[in-house]
Protein backbone atom coordinates (compact mmCIF):
# COMPACT_ATOMS: atom_id res chain seq x y z
CA UNK A 1 0.00 0.00 0.00
CA UNK A 2 1.45 3.32 -1.00
CA UNK A 3 -0.83 5.62 0.97
CA UNK A 4 -4.09 7.49 0.77
CA UNK A 5 -5.27 8.99 -2.48
CA UNK A 6 -3.60 6.39 -4.68
CA UNK A 7 -6.22 4.72 -6.87
CA UNK A 8 -3.87 1.82 -7.66
CA UNK A 9 -4.06 0.64 -4.04
CA UNK A 10 -7.61 -0.52 -4.68
CA UNK A 11 -7.84 -0.72 -8.46
CA UNK A 12 -10.53 -3.40 -8.55
CA UNK A 13 -12.97 -1.35 -6.46
CA UNK A 14 -12.08 1.85 -8.32
CA UNK A 15 -12.95 0.07 -11.57
CA UNK A 16 -16.24 -1.20 -10.12
CA UNK A 17 -17.26 2.25 -8.86
CA UNK A 18 -16.43 3.75 -12.26
CA UNK A 19 -18.65 1.18 -13.98
CA UNK A 20 -21.44 1.75 -11.46
CA UNK A 21 -21.36 5.49 -12.03
CA UNK A 22 -21.12 5.61 -15.82
CA UNK A 23 -23.47 2.68 -16.49
CA UNK A 24 -26.14 3.43 -13.92
CA UNK A 25 -25.97 6.31 -11.46
CA UNK A 26 -25.37 9.11 -13.97
CA UNK A 27 -28.60 8.16 -15.77
CA UNK A 28 -30.81 8.14 -12.67
CA UNK A 29 -32.49 10.79 -10.54
CA UNK A 30 -33.18 9.76 -6.96
CA UNK A 31 -35.84 11.41 -4.82
CA UNK A 32 -34.79 9.68 -1.60
CA UNK A 33 -31.80 7.83 -0.18
CA UNK A 34 -33.92 4.66 0.07
CA UNK A 35 -34.73 4.89 -3.64
CA UNK A 36 -31.04 5.22 -4.45
CA UNK A 37 -30.15 2.23 -2.29
CA UNK A 38 -32.80 0.07 -3.94
CA UNK A 39 -31.79 1.13 -7.44
CA UNK A 40 -28.09 0.52 -6.86
CA UNK A 41 -28.78 -2.84 -5.19
CA UNK A 42 -30.90 -3.90 -8.19
CA UNK A 43 -28.17 -2.82 -10.62
CA UNK A 44 -25.51 -4.81 -8.79
CA UNK A 45 -27.55 -7.95 -8.13
CA UNK A 46 -29.51 -8.21 -11.39
CA UNK A 47 -27.22 -6.70 -13.99
CA UNK A 48 -23.60 -6.41 -12.83
CA UNK A 49 -23.34 -9.81 -11.11
CA UNK A 50 -25.45 -11.78 -13.60
CA UNK A 51 -25.62 -10.21 -17.05
CA UNK A 52 -22.80 -7.71 -17.56
CA UNK A 53 -19.90 -9.07 -19.58
CA UNK A 54 -16.55 -8.93 -17.78
CA UNK A 55 -13.17 -8.79 -19.51
CA UNK A 56 -11.61 -11.03 -16.84
CA UNK A 57 -14.12 -13.73 -17.81
CA UNK A 58 -13.30 -13.55 -21.54
CA UNK A 59 -16.27 -11.21 -21.97
CA UNK A 60 -18.79 -13.72 -20.63
CA UNK A 61 -21.36 -12.77 -18.05
CA UNK A 62 -20.67 -14.14 -14.56
CA UNK A 63 -23.75 -16.36 -14.84
CA UNK A 64 -22.65 -17.81 -18.18
CA UNK A 65 -19.09 -18.26 -16.90
CA UNK A 66 -20.37 -20.17 -13.87
CA UNK A 67 -22.62 -22.37 -16.01
CA UNK A 68 -19.72 -23.22 -18.33
CA UNK A 69 -17.48 -23.94 -15.34
CA UNK A 70 -20.02 -26.35 -13.84
CA UNK A 71 -20.42 -28.14 -17.19
CA UNK A 72 -16.66 -28.55 -17.53
CA UNK A 73 -16.25 -29.93 -13.99
Q: Tens-of-pLDDT digits for all 73 residues of the chain?
A: 566 666 677 788 888 999 999 999 999 999 999 999 999 999 999 988 888 888 888 899 988 999 999 999 8
- Report yes or no on 68 lying in a domain: yes
| Number of domains present in the structure of the chain | 1
User: Is 11 domain-assigned?
Assistant: no
| Residues 61 and 51: beta-carbon distance below 8 Å | yes
Query: Looking at the domain assignment, is residue 61 inside a domain?
Result: yes
| Exposure of 44 in the CB half-sphere (CA atoms within 13 A) | 11
In a domain, 14, yes or no: no
Domain containing residue 35: 30-73
- Model confidence, pTM: 0.70
Residue 16 within any structural domain of the chain? no
Asked if residue 52 belongs to a domain, the reply is yes
Query: Can you give the pLDDT at residue 51?
Result: 86
Map 36-69 to HEC letters.
HHHHHHHHHHHHHCCCCCEHHHCCECHHHHHHHH
Report yes or no on 6 lying in a domain: no
Amino acid sequence: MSGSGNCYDNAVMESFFHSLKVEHIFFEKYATRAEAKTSIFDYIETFYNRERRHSQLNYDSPLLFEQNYVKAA
